[in-house]
Structure 1
Amino acid sequence: MLILNRRDFLKQVSAVGITVATGGRALDAFADDVLKVAVAYVSPIGDVGWTKQHDLARRAMEAAFPGKIKTTTIEGVAQAQDAERVFRDLATQGNKLIIGTSFSHMNPMLKVAQTMPQTKFELCSGIKTLKNLGAFEARYYEGTYLAGIVAGKMSKSNVLGFVGGFPVPDVVGPANAFLLGARSVNPKIICKTIWLDSWYDPGKERDAANALISQGADVVMSMTDTPTTVQVGEEKGVWTIGYASDMSKYGPKKHLTSFVLDWSSDYISAASEVMAGTWVANHRWDGLKAGVVKMSPYNSAIPKDALSYVAAQERAIIAGQLHPFAGPIRDQDGKQRVASGAVLPDDQIKGINWFVEGMQGNLPKG
């Protein structure tokens, strides 16, 4: 496996192309029976978080096909202009499967995929597909709804806090579900939100978490690529919810749970189908039932009756008996968005750009 950061990758491509660290062979010099796969990470690989979970999935893919897959990973591909160049160069260097890991990779990958029809592309968080571009995503909102139930049971102030990277639909939806879960057990609760406009900015995230706590939030959740919010909660004695990875080691006393993302099945199935010649672009959207979304172990401070209740709700979601976006639901302006007895359709969840009643914070217009 070759690991490069974005800067080093672009330098090498500009100079002499990509070479493998062990032996100096060009990527396109691997044997024909080895599938060359490249993965572009939006941030550095840390101990926990979004990118860490993608790297674990990549490792699971390699382990599933010993000696049959050779991977290259590029870290810190956050800017669209860099992403387009990275994807194009990776395809030119002979990678037959290229995986992007961020919504911000979508437009660059669309451009490159249209000009590289022999290369298969997969994009996590993508909402558009082409003949050679598939997409996969997780039903994060199922995990945040369960986390919200726990938060609603544990909050004393009736104020939750949410730190988000960007106000895109796959973060806005989970934020809404977090409050809906909490309000299912505590109708008085509200949730204050702060956007970082970054997936990875520990300093800015620390300021946001502290600001929410100063505004009365006694349970805070984040959807960023760092454990900073969990660390702040531990320091301040405030309950926290982790994201993507189990973050309990950063908050051994105050971390309630994390909703964990396991992308292994998406990586393994894509590689298997490319090798078998059966790959077809589609849009996969899995959650608790498929094991793509999982809840980490719960804090022992949570009452047993609350744990029993949240376990029952998880079983109900998996069985299709409970949907986090079941009506009636009103938005923060009081407009009814989902009628009683109805459920918000998948396509509207994927494009959600409004806050539910009780959410406090701003969303971009349009």
Structure 2
Amino acid sequence: MHEGKLITAATRRQVLKGAAAAGAGLVVAPWGRAAYANDVLKIGVAYVSPIADVGWTRQHNLGVEAIKAKFGDKVAVTVIENVSQPQDAERTFRDMAANGCGLIFGTSFSHGTPLQKAAKQFPNVKFEHCSGIVHLSNLGTFEAKYYEGTYLAGVAAGKVSKTGKIGFVGGFPIPDIVGPANALLLGAQSVNPAATCSTIFLNSWFDPGKEKDAASALIAQGCDVVCGMTDTPSTVVAAEEAGAWGIGYASDMSKYAPTKHLTAFTLDWSSEYVGATEKVLGEAWTSEVRWDGLAEGVVKMSPYNAALPDDVKALLAEKEAAIKAGTLHPFAGELKDQKDEVKVAAGSVLDEKGIRSINWFVKGMVGNLS
């Protein structure tokens, strides 16, 4: 009995080397070196950054591990790390498909156009795009309602902040990041209407040094709670060192900030990976738009800091239950933007289309979308 299925962690350099050797023909990438039985589903997964012990890619890799645990010898999975450039991503997805992968996952917004091109070239292959916005007959998408997690984190931040100033470090000013940044402040304003949130965008998903500098700059400006939404724990590290509160993203980052980790909005992609694989194996896969949050267990809050008073923890539990039940919506109006213009009227909520395309900051956000 096999202990599990072969997983090949290939680097981008290996893939490019294989592509150069193959020229215009089919690329013999690392996953193409093993022969599998016809009834084994070959799966390819591209990560935008290295597999670390915490962070975005770590959580996706846990989804891959869930596939292995669930399906064992029925699948053979290959993961490729550090696929961040569009040209490399297109080559990677094309090579995966050409070498027999029947299901391919892209794990970054930046993988969008490369996935679309590969999906059109290989209509019989099923593609899944995390953070995607374009859908084809063989390209589905899945995403998390990050804003539900940041809203709760914001409530906690509003309760512990003494300055009323929160900081947010984001990768890129795209809707998936802008929405959660807004929700962070809205959560804080629900308990402290005067709260503000200063933002810095790195224009990178993985730059530990730049991220730490950004977090330190926000703390120097008076932000005593900082939240990072990139693929490193650098923001919470900077907070711990400065005596400020830190909010983690994707994974529980408390080991990097043992005294000042306020909480983290974590991501559990297991149901997305297992569900898509199960449907492909059962020949029941169809292109879907999946957008899941707290209620579905894709977004989860890590344990709150023990220093939080019991009444604050009770309030957070109450608000989380209300979000899950649909009786509390982080983007309920009235909401105004930085120009004091009403964007969501009182009694209304920002709909899914509006959230997923949001390109404006709520009133109280400090910074611009660049």
Distance in 1 (CA, whole Å) between partners of 2:181 and 2:135 is 26
Distance in 1 (CA, whole Å) between partners of 2:20 and 2:250 is 34
Conservation of the 8 A alpha-carbon contact between 2:10 and 2:30: no
Would you say 1:38 and 2:44 are equivalent positions? yes
Distance in 1 (CA, whole Å) between partners of 2:327 and 2:239 is 34
Normalised to the residue count of structure 2, the TM-score between the two structures is 0.96
From 19, 22, 29, the counterpart of 1:13: 19
Equivalent in the alignment of 1:26: 33
Distance in 1 (CA, whole Å) between partners of 2:285 and 2:266 is 27
Equivalent in the alignment of 2:215: 209
Q: Secondary structure at the match of 1:67?
A: helix
Normalised to the residue count of structure 1, the TM-score between the two structures is 0.97
Q: How does 1:179-328 map to 2 (within 5 A)?
A: 179-328=185-334
Shift of 1:18: 1.8
Q: Secondary structure at the match of 1:65?
A: helix
Q: How does 1:61-210 map to 2 (within 5 A)?
A: 61-210=67-216
Sequence identity (%): 59
Distance in 2 (CA, whole Å) between partners of 1:232 and 1:363 is 23
Distance in 2 (CA, whole Å) between partners of 1:136 and 1:238 is 34
Residue type matched to 2:306 in 1? S
Distance in 1 (CA, whole Å) between partners of 2:38 and 2:192 is 59
Would you say 1:56 and 2:56 are equivalent positions? no
Conservation of the 8 A alpha-carbon contact between 2:15 and 2:30: no
Distance in 2 (CA, whole Å) between partners of 1:183 and 1:296 is 21
Distance in 1 (CA, whole Å) between partners of 2:131 and 2:237 is 27
Distance in 1 (CA, whole Å) between partners of 2:261 and 2:145 is 22
Distance in 2 (CA, whole Å) between partners of 1:272 and 1:89 is 23
Conservation of the 8 A alpha-carbon contact between 2:14 and 2:30: no
Residue type matched to 2:231 in 1? D
Q: Secondary structure at the match of 2:209?
A: helix
Conservation of the 8 A alpha-carbon contact between 2:14 and 2:29: no
Output the aligned Cα RMSD. 0.9
Give the 4+ runs in structure 1 shifted more than 4 A. none
Gapped regions of structure 1 (runs ≥ 5): none
Distance in 2 (CA, whole Å) between partners of 1:74 and 1:333 is 44
Shift of 1:19: 3.2
Distance in 1 (CA, whole Å) between partners of 2:234 and 2:307 is 22
Q: Secondary structure at the match of 1:321?
A: coil
Residue type matched to 1:26 in 2? R
Gapped regions of structure 2 (runs ≥ 5): 1-6, 23-27
How many pairs are equivalent?
Answer: 359
Q: Secondary structure at the match of 1:70?
A: strand
Q: Secondary structure at the match of 2:73?
A: coil
From 338, 347, 364, the counterpart of 1:358: 364
Distance in 2 (CA, whole Å) between partners of 1:239 and 1:201 is 21
Residue type matched to 1:132 in 2? N
Conservation of the 8 A alpha-carbon contact between 2:40 and 2:75: yes
CA displacement, residues 278-297 of structure 1 (integer Å, 9 cap, x when unaligned): 00001100000000000001
CA displacement, residues 87-138 of structure 1 (integer Å, 9 cap, x when unaligned): 1011001000000000000011111101100100000000110000000000
Distance in 1 (CA, whole Å) between partners of 2:176 and 2:249 is 13
Equivalent in the alignment of 1:47: 53
Greater Cα offset, 62-71 or 284-293: 62-71
